[in-house]
């Protein structure tokens, strides 16, 4: 509770990583690793705050990238020189990008047969120690929160289909890759694992590794970690194969905040508070998924006596974070603390409208607040020309 007091005194807007919570999440990953013997990678698409990597690298085996710069970031900041993995997948590589990725990655995953056929020789020649993976579409829709995040949705562009996995193709690869979940609980992890085991047994016996992707929400209170552990143990026993998991969101779930200040309060049928953070630029998933972030000490709309629409500080009419209620009226200058703001937040930021980017900070276990980075006009200008 003390640390919340600290957050009410800082300059806003600011993303604040909570190291105690990160460590709690790492403990869950550590347990799965110890009990099953799997590798666990951080999907940096969800969380690329490299100043926090030192608190993660003792547990995790490396990073998994979705593109060129994430691959370089992982190689540069996640325990460089400590033998950490960098896995890189992209829906499609150019030859130039692939060559650069190979400088940083010891695992490359192709999304299609044509990319594999075009580039597998290049990978073997340029980086003989690198493993080649192929993404497979298991054709099993398990994502419930949004079709936008279901890799098995109709006409999905992700991964090859089961009938494309000929022996000739399997000879070219070392790993099969199944990323098919998003914020799913253990029953869906288990359904996926059973489905893969039953439908891809032949292919799995010809490769040496399998990557079961991300989206396993292992740190969520309702996620039955024992169920996952038992399922993975059984899977490994049957298939005698090395397993990798690459969660992103789960590793930083509920592990930090976006701290903002009320700038103005107006009224148009409802009370509207305008804050110095924005859904559009600072938490785009609020609009994209969409979802409603929690604010500490707030209630649902009309649940508590004082009700407000919360609006962001951009010109976009739809930059509304949601309708919230509070025990006491909001005032200009009040601090609002959004929770669970480490995943898919600052990695997706924009400087639309010239709105400043929030600070990036750390709340240490002893309550010390560390400002890691403050952005300026130069960061805005540098992305324009
Ligand atoms: C290939 C791949 N791996 C891992 C992840 C991480 O997923 P999550 O953050 O839901 O765990 C994603 C997310 O989109 C992904 O596309």
What CATH code is carried by the domain that includes residue 170? 3.20.20.10
Residues 90 and 209 in one domain: yes
pTM across the whole model: 0.97
Query: What whole-number distance in Å separates Cα of residue 17 and Cα of residue 241?
Result: 35
Same-domain status, 282 and 136: no
Q: Which of 86, 158, 214, 247 to mutate to test ligand 1, by most ligand atoms within 8 A of the CB atom?
A: 214
* Residue that finishes a domain, picked among 252, 285, 312: 252
Angle formed by the axes of helices 225-239 and 186-199, nearest 10°: 10
Ligand 1 in contact with 151 (CB < 6 A)? no
Atom of ligand 1 nearest to the CA of 251: 11
Q: Are residues 260 and 223 in the same domain?
A: no
44 within domain boundaries: yes
Number of domains in the chain: 2
Q: Is the residue at 136 inside a domain? A: yes
Is 182's C-beta closer than 6 angstroms to any atom of ligand 1?
Answer: yes
Contacts of 87 (CB under 8 A, 6+ apart): 41, 62, 63, 64, 65, 105, 106, 107, 108, 109, 133, 211, 244, 246
Cβ of 249 below 6 Å from ligand 1: yes
Are residues 163 and 237 part of one domain?
yes
Per-residue pLDDT of the chain (385 residues; tens, 9 = 90+): 567 889 999 999 999 999 999 999 999 999 999 999 999 999 999 999 999 999 999 999 999 999 999 999 999 999 999 999 999 999 999 999 999 999 999 999 999 999 999 999 999 999 999 999 999 999 999 998 778 899 999 999 999 999 999 999 999 999 999 999 999 999 999 999 999 999 999 999 999 999 999 999 999 999 999 999 999 999 999 999 999 999 999 999 999 999 999 999 999 999 999 999 999 999 999 999 999 999 999 999 999 999 999 999 999 999 999 999 999 999 999 999 999 999 999 999 999 999 999 999 999 999 999 999 999 999 999 999 9
- Cα of 233 from ligand 1 centre, angstroms: 22
284 and 179 belong to one structural domain: no
Q: Is 89 in the pocket of ligand 1 (CB under 6 A)?
A: yes
Do 284 and 363 lie in a common domain?
A: yes
Of 46, 142, 147, the residue with max ligand 1 atoms within 8 A of its CB, to mutate for a pocket test, comes to 46
Ligand 1 in reach of 87 Cβ (< 6 A): no
| Domain housing 11 | 2-16+256-341+349-382
Are 189 and 276 found together in one domain? no
Q: Determine, yes or no, domain membership for 62.
A: yes
The CATH number of whichever domain residue 333 belongs to comes to 2.40.37.10
d(CA 165, CA 171): 10
- From the CB of 61, is ligand 1 less than 6 Å away? no
Instruction: Please indicate, yes or no, whether residues 297 and 217 belong to a single structural domain of this protein.
Output: no
Query: Does 199 fall in a domain?
Result: yes
- Any domain includes 185: yes
Q: Which atom of ligand 1 is nearest to the CA of 149?
A: 14
Pocket test for ligand 1, best of 215, 219, 244, 344 (most atoms within 8 A of CB): 215
The reply to whether ligand 1 has any atom less than 6 angstroms from the CB of 40 is: no
Residue where a domain stops, chosen among 252, 267, 294: 252
In a domain, residue 310? The reply is yes
* Domain final residue pick, 222, 252, 282: 252
**375 with 282, same domain?**
yes
Q: What distances in angstroms separate CA 240 from CA 130, 190, 207, one per listed residue?
A: 21, 17, 10
Q: Is 46 in the pocket of ligand 1 (CB under 6 A)?
A: yes
Local structure of residue 184 (DSSP, 8 states): B
Question: What's the chain's length in residues?
Answer: 385
179 CA → ligand 1 middle, Å: 7
- CA-to-CA distance for 286 and 280, rounded, in angstroms? 8
Distance 248 CA to ligand 1 centre (A): 6
Q: How far is CA 59 from CA 30, 33, 63, 127, in A?
A: 6, 9, 12, 27
By CB atoms closer than 10 A (0-12, 13-18, 19+), residue 343 is buried
- Residue 53 domain flag: yes
């Amino acid at each position: 509770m003390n640390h919340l007091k600290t957050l009410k005194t800082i300059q806003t807007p600011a993303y604040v990583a909570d190291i105690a919570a990160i460590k709690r999440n790492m403990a869950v990953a550590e347990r799965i690793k110890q009990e099953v013997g799997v590798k666990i990678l951080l999907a940096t698409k969800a969380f690329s705050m490299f100043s926090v990597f030192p608190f993660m690298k003792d547990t995790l085996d490396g990073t998994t990238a979705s593109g060129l710069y994430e691959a370089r970031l992982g190689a540069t900041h996640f325990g460089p020189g400590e033998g950490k993995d960098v896995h890189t997948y992209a829906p499609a590589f150019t030859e130039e990008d692939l060559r650069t990725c190979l400088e940083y990655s010891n695992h490359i995953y192709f999304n299609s047969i044509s990319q594999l056929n075009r580039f597998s020789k290049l990978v073997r020649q340029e980086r003989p120690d690198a493993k080649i993976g192929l993404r497979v579409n298991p054709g099993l829709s398990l994502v419930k929160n949004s079709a936008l995040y279901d890799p098995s949705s109709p006409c999905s562009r992700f991964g090859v289909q089961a009938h494309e996995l000929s022996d000739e193709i399997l000879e070219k690869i070392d790993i099969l890759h199944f990323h098919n979940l998003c914020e799913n609980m253990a029953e869906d992890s288990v359904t996926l694992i059973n489905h893969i085991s039953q439908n891809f047994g032949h292919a799995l016996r010809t490769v040496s590794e399998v990557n079961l992707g991300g989206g396993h929400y292992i740190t969520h209170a309702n996620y039955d970690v024992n169920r996952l552990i038992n399922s993975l143990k059984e899977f490994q026993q049957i298939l005698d194969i090395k397993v990798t998991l690459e969660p992103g969101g789960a590793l930083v779930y509920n592990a930090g905040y976006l701290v903002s200040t009320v700038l103005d309060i107006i009224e148009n049928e409802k009370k509207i508070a305008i804050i110095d953070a924005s859904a559009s630029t600072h938490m785009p998933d609020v609009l994209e998924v969409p979802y409603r972030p929690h604010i500490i000490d707030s209630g649902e709309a009309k649940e508590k006596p004082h009700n407000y629409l919360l609006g962001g500080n951009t010109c976009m009419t739809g930059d509304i974070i949601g309708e919230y209620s509070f025990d006491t009226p909001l005032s200009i200058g009040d601090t609002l603390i959004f929770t669970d703001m480490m995943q898919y937040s600052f990695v997706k930021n924009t400087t639309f409208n010239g709105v400043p980017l929030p600070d990036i900070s750390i709340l240490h276990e002893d309550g010390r607040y560390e400002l890691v980075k403050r952005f300026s006009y130069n960061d805005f200008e540098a992305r324009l020309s």
